[in-house]
Amino acid sequence: MGNLLIVEDDRSSRDTLAAALADVEMNVTTAASAEEAIARLKLAPVDIVLSDVVMGRLDGLDLLNHIQEESPDTAVILMTGQGSIQAAVDAMRNGAYDYLTKPIDLDRLELVIERAKKKQNLVRENKKLRKEIRTAFSSAGIIGRSRPMQLVLERVEQVARTNATVLILGESGTGKELIASAIHYHSRRSEGPLVKVNCAALPESLVESELFGHERGAFTGAHRLRRGRFELSNQGTLFLDEVGDLTLPTQIKLLRAIQEREIERVGGQTTIRVDVRLITATNQMLEERIKRGEFREELYYRLKVVTIEAPPLRDRTDDIPLLLNHFLKFYCKEHGCVAERFTDSAMEVLCEYAWPGNVRELRNLVESLVVTTPGNEIGVKHLPASMAPKQRTPQLQLTMGKSLEEIEREYILKTLNTLGGNKTKAAQILGIGKKTLYRRLESYRKEGYLAAENHLLTD
């Protein structure tokens, strides 16, 4: 249940309004002046303010201005007996939710209050959603305790407080978009939009229209005006992924937009001012593209005011178990599956894998395993054949002072143990005949190095 504050200097009118609004399912309080209303607003949050315009030293417009500065989410409904079209326009321009003239139509007032309540519910839901998003993209939300990831998180926290343009470098699948989101949701622009564009996915003929918008009739098929991504991200952040794929003509327009903070729609002649924080990302070597004449050098230096390098997964192996368990839990909940854990052997194999596709490959694999594994435990047998552990050649640690005969015996026995007693395969690896291997084992038994019941002596 929200809070409604009635501000009216006439006591009779104030009491009448309070009585009329007793059934709106809100906590209704009253104030006799703008000064008293301001004092009440400091004590507790208010969702809707219904205020007279003509009052004492501070009038309703003064109160509206104060609320806009201190509590911009509060809906303000103004009412006056001196109604005019110009007064209504001024009030709405100053941020009033609605404007009513006296004598107040109580039925219309209730409708306006109900609409304002719905708006406030949306505001609260939006705030809750943004809080959840911030949590998801907080430092704790980016999974990684390794030193390379800690350096990334430190840089994110450092640059988020500024409006500096950021270039994120890294291989495909390393989480560049996640880093961009973390910067936005930790910045002063977090209440504004975060607009994401994958430049590589845009057809060349539509890139300019997508970024800068177009006027109606600008080209065949442009049946209506379209606002581009720069306009949509005004007061917020624009993330251009795979920026290295932009064509040279588009790079020139992007450079101008960054330098002048203004754009023109395709087919338009009007300059539009934009206030956008730009974050870009690429998995390409832009310096090499500059040498080949495929990327403008001046744009490159505009984009790399601050550079963040997203490390590949092979350089942050300490994070692999964290990522595996995180996505295991996430996809079990997502798909209603029962897989609870990786076996130790499966975890060992996954931690030793090179992950050429980085975190994206890991995430997709875990989802596949969750969906296809029948039991509650994911083992080595459930992993793709390409990840099967390679048969290792036994390693022998040589110790000074041992004879060649001792070294040979140790190597033969270690090879057999590694192969689970498979004498045929052991003989092949050792480069000796199977009969020779049997004679060696029998000799080791007689010399007391093997018990008669040892499995290495049996076929």
pLDDT of 218 above 90 = no
Confidence of residue 35 (pLDDT cuts 50, 70, 90): very high
Cβ atoms of residues 430 and 414 within 8 Å:
no
pLDDT of residue 55: 87
Tell me what the mean pLDDT of segment 97-125 comes to.
Answer: 87
Region of 156 (left: φ > 0; alpha: ψ -120 to 50; beta: rest) is alpha
pLDDT of residue 145: 86
Tell me what the mean pLDDT of segment 13-22 comes to.
Answer: 90
Q: Which of 84, 82, 64, 83 is nearest to 74 (CA)?
A: 64
343: Cβ contacts below 8 Å, ≥ 6 apart: 377, 378, 379, 380
State how far the Cα of 130 lies from the Cα of 128, in Å rounded to an integer: 5
**In this predicted model, which residue has the larger pLDDT, 194 or 456?**
194
Distance separating the N- and C-terminal Cα atoms of the chain: 80
Burial class (CB in 10 A: 0-12, 13-18, 19+), 62: middle
Share of the chain above pLDDT 70, in %: 90
Among 34-38, 69-73, 93-97, the range of highest mean pLDDT: 34-38
Q: Which of 333, 334, 332, 355 is nearest to 342 (CA)?
A: 332
Cβ atoms of residues 300 and 280 within 8 Å:
no
Residue 428 CA: distances (Å) to CA of 233, 416, 432, 436: 67, 11, 7, 12
Rg (CA), the chain: 35
Confidence of residue 132 (pLDDT cuts 50, 70, 90): low
pLDDT of 139 above 50 = no
**In this predicted model, which residue has the larger pLDDT, 137 or 213?**
213
- Residue linked to tokens 């934009």: 274
Residue-wise pLDDT tens digits, 225-279: 889 999 999 999 999 999 999 999 999 999 999 999 999 999 988 899 999 999 9
Tell me what the mean pLDDT of segment 41-63 comes to.
Answer: 89
Cβ atoms of residues 311 and 355 within 8 Å:
no
Residue-wise pLDDT tens digits, 282-298: 999 999 999 999 999 99
Region of 217 (left: φ > 0; alpha: ψ -120 to 50; beta: rest) is left
Residue-wise pLDDT tens digits, 325-371: 999 999 999 999 888 899 998 999 999 899 999 999 999 999 999 99
pLDDT of residue 5: 94
Task: Name the amino acid, one letter, at 306.
Answer: V
Q: Return the number of other C-beta atoms located less than 10 Å from residue 119's C-beta.
A: 15
Cβ atoms of residues 8 and 16 within 8 Å:
no
pLDDT of residue 140: 41
Confidence of residue 88 (pLDDT cuts 50, 70, 90): low
pLDDT of residue 138: 47
Provide the mean pLDDT of the chain: 87
**In this predicted model, which residue has the larger pLDDT, 84 or 108?**
108
**In this predicted model, which residue has the larger pLDDT, 448 or 375?**
375
pLDDT of 396 above 90 = no
Domains of the chain: 3-130 (3.40.50.2300), 143-309 (3.40.50.300), 314-387 (1.10.8.60), 404-457 (1.10.10)
